[in-house]
Structures are given as structure tokens and as C-alpha cells.
Amino acid sequence: MVWIVLMVVLVGALAATKLVPRGYLRLSAVSVVVGLMVLLTAGRSIKVIKAGEVAVVRTFGDITGQRGEGLGMIAPWQTIHRESIRVQSARFEEVTAFSAETQDVFATIEINYRVEDRAVQDLLRNVGENWFDVLIDGRLQNFFKEETVKFETDAVAPNRETIRRATQQQLSASLEPFSIEITELLIVNVTFSPEYIQSIEDKQIATQNALKAVEEVAITRAEANKERERARGVRDATVIEAEGVEQANRLINSSLTPEVLQYLAINQFNDDVTIALVPSGEGLLLDPSSFVSPIEP
């Protein structure tokens, strides 16, 4: 449309050159106007298509063709829409889903995708230039939800690879009719609601406290067992000692004859003792005269 307007203006300018007197000045004016028309037409018609791109040609809005990479020509009144056919990457932040217990699950997902060059015209014609938002965004979130809800909340993260693989398979199958290939799908991160994360932390703290209490009970029980064993050892030693004393006394008692007792009593006297008193009625242990030292003349 812009080219047409410019051409109309330049044609008018070319017609106006007739008002210029014949000669060099008119020739120069005509040359300038014609040169501008050629440059504008060439600029609108010659297109350089980069590697990994295709150019969809539109004629007054309708798709009428396609140009591959390299140097391409179109009519000056036509326009092109460039579309990449290389592998591209897209990142989805906080894709929302639910676990089997309806706990919120949030994920960051990245995909790599590409469009086949032969399908670009049909894709733009049937879906539109915003085909990515229409075909991929909604499908990705829906399939991720379908897979995540199959697992309990605490099993979502351990089964991330299973969820990833199933989501990619479903997404690829749904986009195949549009010649869109999902070359890779990655679940970069999985997280949960702050309330659930706090409950997990509280549970871990409670578990740690319980384990600590069990350890303390075990330590107390071990110390009690140790003290009990020590007391048992002291008791056994005392019993053994008492039994030894009892046995010794029994042996001593069985060996105490009257003669032995007299002998032991005599051994208790001091060498300086010359008189010994004994209980009445018990008889003399020895002849009293034996205690009297002889008087020297």
C-alpha cells in the first residue's frame, strides 16, 4: 500500500515535469523521478531471506506464495511475513497444575520446537500469525495438568521424568497435524504452595524431634542399664565377700576345741603378767604357782 501511494505521487511528479521548459532541466527532473520509482520498486521487490527462514508472500492480505532462503523477488505491491523453520525455544513460567489431593503444583517448563517449511502457509492461513499462543500454550498447560493429577503431592517431584515424558508425547501427537515438531520438553523446576512447603518443613522438624527423643530415651536406658549392672556387680561382690566370711567363720568355729581356746587365751597374756584372774566356777586354766617367779636367794 505504501508503494502504491509513493508511485502515485511520483507519477504525479513525472506529469508535472511537463511544466518544466524543454531542455536539460526537464530531462534532469524526469530522470530523478524515474530513478526514484526504480529504486523504490527494486527495494520493495528484492528480498533477502536468511538461512533457516521462509517468507510467506501476501498480496493485499491474502497468502499467495512462499519464498525460501536466499535472494527472492516479489511484486512491489506484495508483502512478506518471515517465519523461522529452525529449532526454537520457549519458556513457560509457573505452569499451574494439581496433585491427586488437589494441592497446587507449579512448574517451569521449557520446550524446543520447529515448524516444517512446507506447512508454514497452511499454518498461517488456518491458524494465524499467533499460531504459537493458539496451538502450544494452552495444550502444554492442559497436558501437564492431566499428568500431574495422577500422582500424590509427595510423589510429583520423584516422578517428574514420567510426567515430562508423557506431557511431551501428548503435546507432540496433538501438534503433528499442524507439522509442528516438539523436539524436547524439559521440566526445569517443580514447586508447591507456601502452605504445603511449610507443612513439609513442620513434619520434618517433628520427625527430627521424635528421632532425637528416641535417641535420648535410648541413652537414658543405656545409662540406667549401666548403673544397674554396676549395682549388680557391687552386690555380687558383697555377697561373695559375705559368703567367704561365713565360710571362714564356719571353718574357724568347727576347729575351736577347748584346748585350742586355752592356747589362744594364754597367747593373749603379756610377758610381764604374773597373776591372771579367771571367772569363778570355771576352774583354773593353769597352776597359779606357774605365774610366780622363783625368789632368788
Per residue in 76-132, pLDDT tens?
777 778 888 899 999 998 899 988 988 889 999 999 999 988 888 888 888 888 899
Grid cell locating 264: 589362744
Confidence of residue 229 (pLDDT cuts 50, 70, 90): confident
Distance (Å, whole) CA 27 – CA 16: 12
Q: What is the pLDDT of residue 29?
A: 67
Grid cell locating 151: 500422582
**DSSP helix/strand/coil, 27:** helix
Distance (Å, whole) CA 184 – CA 87: 10
Distance (Å, whole) CA 271 – CA 267: 10
> How many other CB atoms are found less than 10 A from the CB of residue 185?
20
More confident residue, 79 or 203: 79
Confidence of residue 292 (pLDDT cuts 50, 70, 90): very low
Q: What is the pLDDT of residue 6?
A: 65
Q: What is the pLDDT of residue 206?
A: 61
Distance (Å, whole) CA 94 – CA 105: 9
Q: What is the pLDDT of residue 21?
A: 63
Listed residue (135, 137, 148, 131) closest to 91, CA to CA: 137
- Classified by CATH at the fold level, domain 90-192 comes out as Tetrahydropterin Synthase; Chain A (3.30.479)
Confidence of residue 68 (pLDDT cuts 50, 70, 90): confident
**DSSP helix/strand/coil, 242:** helix
Q: What is the mean pLDDT of residues 53-79?
A: 78
Mean pLDDT rounded to a whole number for the chain: 76
- Domain residue ranges in the chain: 2-49+69-79, 90-192, 205-288
Confidence of residue 254 (pLDDT cuts 50, 70, 90): confident
Distance (Å, whole) CA 129 – CA 133: 9
> How many other CB atoms are found less than 10 A from the CB of residue 297?
3
Distance (Å, whole) CA 205 – CA 203: 5
Q: Are residues 161 and 151 in contact, defined by beta-carbon separation less than 8 angstroms? A: no
